[in-house]
Amino acid sequence: MGPVRRGLILSLVPGSAMAEVCEKLRPGWDAAAGPTSGLSEALQLAMSPAPLILLAASALAVLRRSSRGGMIVVLFWAAYLMLLSMADQGGVTHQARIEGCMGNPALFIAGVIAICAGIILYTARFRATNQELES
């Protein structure tokens, strides 16, 4: 095994370059604790400012029973999920997932889809019952 092949094989092993990725993305992550689970990733994503604002707007749309407000909030949720899933800074998030400091956001995305479906169903049902009462 020559030095070129050994260098190529060693370049595939996670090393200091990946450790820098985790230090930049998740400074408080401890490698000894193990890889980040889907639940902890979902909680970390849910506690960031944008989802908290969207959750408050969702609650407001449901409390006011506004179908238009619910539609607008669902569109903002969709835009946020699009940015979350497509904003990969040159493969940095992929490297962070390989290293273990980022988990799979599928649980968070499923939760947001459930919230959006609930908003749509609740506000549509309220609108249908109002139209029946007015007739």
**CB distance 54 to 73 below 8 Å:** yes
Q: What is the pLDDT of residues 65-77, one digit of tens each?
A: 989 999 999 999 9
d(CA 66, CA 16): 51
pLDDT at 135 over 80: no
d(CA 46, CA 34): 21
Q: Give one word for 30, left, alpha or beta, with left for phi > 0 and alpha for psi -120 to 50.
A: beta
- Sign, CA dihedral 56-62-65-71, equals positive
pLDDT at 84 over 80: yes
For the whole prediction, is pTM greater than 0.95? no
Name the nearest CA neighbour of 112 among 35, 54, 32.
54
Please tell me the predicted confidence (pLDDT) of residue 61. 93
Q: What is the pLDDT of residues 20-66, one digit of tens each?
A: 788 887 777 777 777 888 898 899 889 999 999 999 999 999 999 98
